[in-house]
């Protein structure tokens, strides 16, 4: 078999790996083996946390809505239930945005419900 020299390729992969871990602390930013492991873990956390972010935002919208609704004497759960019975199809994100930017619009929705 012919001899294969892989110096260029090995250096290229090493360079690319170390570029990805720039800013990491200790050996993870300089040692190839630790860098590979750091990248693998970072990837799994990134995947999981993209899913978690959706729930985090939903919780935030609920808290914001509940805070505004309490001022008008309603609870969040009763408000959402009455929205469904009134067939008003506004999601929590939009309702939260309305509550934050234009509270008078939300008051109109509350009176309609």
Note the pLDDT of residue 92. Answer: 95
CB 7 within 8 A of CB 21: no
Give the predicted TM-score (pTM) of the model. 0.73
8-112 CATH, one of 1.10.1900.20, 3.30.2320.20, 1.10.3720.10, 3.30.450.20: 1.10.1900.20
Residues of the chain below pLDDT 50 = none
Q: What is the DSSP string of 1-38?
A: ------HHHHHHHHHHHHHHTTT--GGGGT-HHHHHHH
Taking alpha carbons only, the member of 39, 47, 37 closest to residue 19 is 39
Note the pLDDT of residue 65. Answer: 95
Helices 32-71 and 103-112: crossing angle in degrees, nearest 10, is 60
Say how many C-beta atoms besides its own lie within 10 A of residue 79's C-beta.
20
Q: What are the structural domain ranges in the chain?
A: 8-112
């Amino acid at each position: 078999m012919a001899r294969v020299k892989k110096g260029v390729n090995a250096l290229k992969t090493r360079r690319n790996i170390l570029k990805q871990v720039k800013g990491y602390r200790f050996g993870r930013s300089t040692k190839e083996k630790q860098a590979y492991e750091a990248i693998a873990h970072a990837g799994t956390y990134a995947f999981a946390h993209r899913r978690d972010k959706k729930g985090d935002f939903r919780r935030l919208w609920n808290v914001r809505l509940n805070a505004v609704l309490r001022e008008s004497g309603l609870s969040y759960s009763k408000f959402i239930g009455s929205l469904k019975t009134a067939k008003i199809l506004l999601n929590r994100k939009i309702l939260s945005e309305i509550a934050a930017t234009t509270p008078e619009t939300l008051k109109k929705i509350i009176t309609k419900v």
